[in-house]
Amino acid sequence: MKTKKRISSYPPEWLHLVDTLIPSYVKETYSPKPAWRLKPFSEVDTSFFSQSILALSALFTEDRPHKVPAYFQHARYRSAYMLYFLPLSAAKFLNLFRLHEAALASLLPLKHITILDLGSGPATASLTLLIFLARLDHKPELTIHLVDTNAHIMRDGEALLNRFAEHLGIKLTVHRHASTFWEAPLPEKIDFTILGNLLNEADAPRAKQAPFWQDLYKRSQHAGILFVEPAARSSSQKLGSLRDSFLETHIKSDNPATIWGPCLHAGKCPLATGRDWCHFSFPSHIDGKLFKKFSQKLGSERTWVKYSYLWLASPHTPALKINNPDIRLVVSDRLTDDQSVLICEPKTARKIIHATARRGTVISLKGVIE
């Protein structure tokens, strides 16, 4: 089955989620006065909830790269996250789903899809996936397993998923598991696993991580395992190290078809340590009337989507790769005025001169200047 049309940057389903569904749920659940809860979201509400968004934004800014406190324990921060940071994170997933539609193609013929959302928070990744699935010629039944250490935010995520699925005409079953990710009960077979901002905030013992990753990889079907992390050096390099561990310990393959992206090779990551790190940024005006208002309150409108990511292919569904030894992935912006950039190669990142290359583009080495 094919999608009816290629997903646009921000389709109508997105606008319903961020401008209608989330604000109405937040106001109904988190307004301090019962009389406010069933009224439309107003400018008064924008001002009221903006205070919590400003406070949470300051918390993120001040406490990174240090350990961020358990902000989901507080109702004001949960409401702030859903109104502003959920759309911000969802834009990253939407961009990646568009970029790697081929990875999701294996889900299209399925009548029933099992999703594992690890470190789910308010189900940001799963809500974004519903946008993709809603545009199929047929709508599969979904079972989504949410895993997070905070039961309150998962309850919010389940409520948003159920309301969004009902609006989209998708049959959905949600299971919540209050657990660390490495202790989470895993479904027997998983059609797609998504991990969002998990390595950045989790502190799992290495001895417990290894058997978990091995078990997860064995159970992975179809669309594989997607990690999405902030574009910061610490989290990006943690992801690079985890990638190498997967390839050396669990996958045991030097075949590029074990990775959907961003890597074009399956050799050792050249940016898992050192001064540079692998991350990507794309110009994107994040759509939504409320998101724009909250951005103005913060004093900066988001015009770029930034992240680090790793999309591992299922052992049963290899990634589609172009068999061309001359192509390389650009992993830096311009380094100097001579138009030099870094390209990704096993074990090391090499510097070349290229007139049009930018971070995230795939180029041919033919005709480039070393």
Q: Do 258 and 198 share a structural domain?
A: yes
Query: Do 335 and 206 have their domain in common?
Result: no
| 334 domain residue, yes or no | yes
Q: Based on C-alpha coordinates, what's the Rg of the chain?
A: 21
Is 304 a member of any domain? yes
Q: 242 lies in a domain? A: yes
Q: Is residue 351 part of a domain?
A: yes
The position carrying tokens 């390839």 is: 247
* 77 within a domain of the structure (yes/no): yes
Q: Would you say residue 1 lies in a domain? A: no
Count Cβ atoms below 10 Å from residue 161 Cβ, excluding itself: 24
Instruction: Note whether residue 318 is domain-resident.
Output: no
Q: Are residues 189 and 284 in the same domain?
A: yes
User: How many structural domains does the chain have?
Assistant: 2
User: Which CATH number fits the domain that encloses residue 101?
Assistant: 3.40.50.150
Provide the residue range defining the domain that includes 69.
12-312
Which residue in this structure is represented by tokens 């390099």?
Answer: 237
Residue 288: inside a domain:
yes
Question: In this predicted structure, what is the pLDDT of residue 324?
Answer: 85
Residues 215 and 332 both lie in one domain: no
Do 291 and 208 fall within a single domain?
yes
Whether residues 151 and 58 share a domain: the answer is: yes
Give this prediction's pTM.
Answer: 0.92
Element (H, E) at 344: strand 340-345
Angle of helix 289-298 relative to helix 43-63, nearest 10 degrees, comes to: 60
Tell me which amino acid residue 205 is.
P
Same domain, 69 and 96: yes
Could you say which DSSP state residue 90 is in?
H
Tens of pLDDT along the chain (370 residues) come to 333 334 447 899 999 999 999 999 999 999 988 888 888 899 999 999 999 999 998 888 754 545 566 889 999 999 999 999 999 999 999 999 999 999 999 999 999 999 999 999 999 999 999 999 988 888 899 999 999 999 999 999 999 999 999 999 999 999 999 999 999 999 999 999 999 988 876 666 676 788 899 999 999 999 999 999 999 999 999 999 999 999 988 887 889 999 999 999 999 999 999 999 999 988 878 899 999 999 988 887 777 889 999 999 998 999 988 778 889 999 998 887 778 899 999 988 999 988 888 899 999 888 665 5
261 and 331 in one domain?
no
Residue 249: phi and psi, rounded to 5, are: -105, -45
Query: Are residues 242 and 202 part of one domain?
Result: yes
What pLDDT, on the 0 to 100 scale, is given for residue 7? 41
Q: Do 139 and 85 belong to one domain?
A: yes
Note whether 299 and 350 are same-domain residues: no
pLDDT of residue 2: 38
Residues 358 and 231 both lie in one domain? no
